[in-house]
A = this chain, B = another copy of it.
Amino acid sequence: MPAMMKMCELLEMEHLDKGKEIAIGNRDKKSIFFLKKGAVKILNSTHNTTKYVVKKGNIFGELSLYDEQAAAMEKAITLEESIICYIQSDMMEELMEKHKSLKNGVFKVYGLRIKKLERRLEDLLYKDSKTRIADFIYAYVKEFGEDKLDRIEAKNLLSHKDIANLTNTSRQTVNNVLSTLRKEKRIDYNTREIAIFKPMLEE
């Protein structure tokens, strides 16, 4: 979203340590957030289960634009030191009316979210839990990681519980799959980082 990125220069900015909560829906006014640096996870605020992971350069809280109630159901927690910009949703609406590219950008974000959700639901029907977890790890490292000679390395920002939530599995199964992949030399990980080995990269 380049338009959003440019806009961000003009906005209120906030610097947050790791593990800080951002109450998407509980502010005096609902806001849309733009993640300038770092990473956050979006939780279901009633069950405290992780629903998404958002990478720097992306927006979150966008649901509050047309459904305040839905936005109130989610909260964000920083997974590492992060910088966010935010704008109140009614101001954002005004801006979107003026700048079509902005509105279309948000439209795309909504569409993408639908696509991801449907994909996840479909996977639940057609893939077993081990595959879902392995697929998730590969996708996560590819999205969040950096390309090295023989491997792709990403910061290990998620707990096994988070991964279990994101793949609709249990913490123990996640651990089991990760350990197995490690034994098979397909991935490696420690508390800091997680890496996938390139020669093993299929798909």
Main secondary structure, interface of A, reads helix
The proximity string for A residues 157-187 relative to B, scoring 1 for CB distances below 8 Å and 0 otherwise, is 0000000010010000000000000000000
**B residues less than 8 Å from A66 (CB atoms):** 104, 107-108, 111
Instruction: Using A66-B104, A97-B100 as known contacts, say yes or no to A121 and B110 having CB atoms under 8 A apart.
Output: no
Nearest B residue to A164, CB-CB: B125
Q: Are A118 and B51 in contact (CB under 8 A)?
A: yes
Interface membership of A65, Cβ < 8 A = yes
User: How many identical chains are in the complex?
Assistant: 2
- Residue count of chain A within 8 Å CB distance of chain B: 31
Task: Kindly list chain B residues whose C-beta atoms are within 8 Å of the C-beta of A121.
Answer: 51, 117, 120-121, 124, 168
Is residue A58 contacting chain B, with contact meaning CB distance below 8 A? Answer: no
A47, A100, A122: which has the most chain B beta carbons within 10 Å? A122
- Within A77-124, the residues touching B (CB, 8 Å) are 97, 100, 103-104, 107-108, 110-115, 117-118, 120-122, 124
